[in-house]
Each structure stands twice: as structure tokens, then as C-alpha cells.
Amino acid sequence: MSKTNKKFDTYRLTALGILTAIIIVLQIISTFVKFGPFSITLALIPIVIGAAMFGAAAGAYLGAVFSVVVLLMCVFGADIGGAMVWNANPLMCAVLVMLKGTLAGFEAGVHYRALESSNKYVATVTAALMSPLVNTGIFVLGMMIFFKDTLTAWAGGSDILYYIIFVMTGVNFLVEVGVNMLLCPVVVKIMDVVKKRK
């Protein structure tokens, strides 16, 4: 292995370690920031940064770290909505939580790489949009397929689709997308610094 490759591997390992720690801290803090029954996901920004810097596999890894923290919050009852889903069906809750986070990171990396050579800014914006879209989309789909009884109980007689869009995930999703979009210019600048260091 060449000196340059060793240096990049050390840099990659260090950066992923720092991003891992940031994701854990942000997700624990954001467990207690709620709009409706579910928490706002603040950890998507470091996931998108890692996915853009190191590719889809790194994004999937960081998404999985985020998923493990979310799952632990569900298991230990720190996330009340998540705890209800865990109690309704632990296996499907675990599958859904791990799938949504891991794929959110993976997709961010795939979309960034696909667009990076054309326009870095567009690539970053797309990755930052795809991450919450995949995370929320898989969550909603999983809830509708595997936790319909739970959704019906939460909706309290109102239309389930209305409840999902306007009560359960609507505000959360908009805040997550807004935060990601606002921080895109910062992500682009970080990417420029990383490219120059190489």
C-alpha cells in the first residue's frame, strides 16, 4: 500500500469515527425534540456528509449507526412513539428502523456520486434531499404495511393517510428537509476542503 493510500485510509477512518460520534450524540439529543409523536432526525446531515465524502458504503454504515441509536431509544422507551412500535412487534420494528436509516445513507451516497461530476452543488442538494425522503418514506411505508393497527389507534378515528401526512410525519419531514437544505452550502464547502487536501 502506498503512502498516499495509507494517509487516505487513516483520514477516512478518523473522519468516519468523528462522524459516528456526532451521529450518536445528535440522535440522542434529538430523541427529545418532537413535533408530534416522533422525534426530528438531526443526524442525517453527518450521514449525508459521510456519504458524499466516502461513498454509498460509508453512507450505509453511518445510516446503520443512526439506526442502532434509534432502535435503542425505542427499546429503552426514550422515544415513546418508537417504544409503542417496538412493543407492538419488536422484530418488524428492528427491521424497519435498520432498513430506513441504512438505505437513507446509502441512497445519499449513490445520488451524490451520480451527480458529482456534473455539479457538486446539485449533487449535495440531491443527496441532502434523498436522505430524509428515503428515511421517512420507508418509515411510512413500513408503518402502513406492518403497523396498521397501531396507526389506526393513533389516528383516533381520523383518516390514516391524513394522520400520517399532516400529524405524524409532515412537520418532522419538512423540518428535516429544511435543515438539510439550509446546511447544503456548508456541506459543499466541506467537500471542497476535502478535495483540496487530497
Q: What is the pLDDT of residues 26-55, one digit of tens each?
A: 999 887 776 655 667 788 999 999 999 999
Average pLDDT over residues 12-24: 94
Identity at 144, one-letter amino acid code: M
At residue 6 the predicted structure's pLDDT band, cuts being 50, 70 and 90, is low
Burial 156-166, CB ≥16 within 10 A → b, else e: eeeeeeebbee
The pLDDT of residue 156: 83
Q: Residue 5: pLDDT above 70?
A: no
Identity at 56, one-letter amino acid code: A
- Within its chain, how far is the Cα of 49 from the centroid? 11
Q: What is the pLDDT of residues 147-185, one digit of tens each?
A: 988 888 888 878 888 887 777 777 777 877 888 878 776
CATH of domain 3-197: 1.10.1760.20
Q: Residue 63: pLDDT above 60?
A: yes
Record the cell numbers describing residue 154, joined without a space: 393513533
The residue written with cell numbers 410525519 in the block is: 169
* Alpha carbons within 13 A on the beta-carbon side of 184: 20
Count of Cβ atoms closer than 10 Å to residue 155 Cβ? 16
At residue 94 the predicted structure's pLDDT band, cuts being 50, 70 and 90, is very high
Residue 150 CA to residue 139 CA, distance in Å, equals: 13
Average pLDDT over residues 83-107: 96
Contacts for 112 with CB less than 8 Å, ≥ 6 apart: 48, 51, 52, 123, 124, 126, 127
Q: What is the pLDDT of residues 105-124, one digit of tens each?
A: 999 999 999 999 998 889 98
Q: Where are the domains of the chain?
A: 3-197
At residue 135 the predicted structure's pLDDT band, cuts being 50, 70 and 90, is very high
The pLDDT of residue 174: 80
Residue 43 CA to residue 33 CA, distance in Å, equals: 12
Record the cell numbers describing residue 112, joined without a space: 451524490
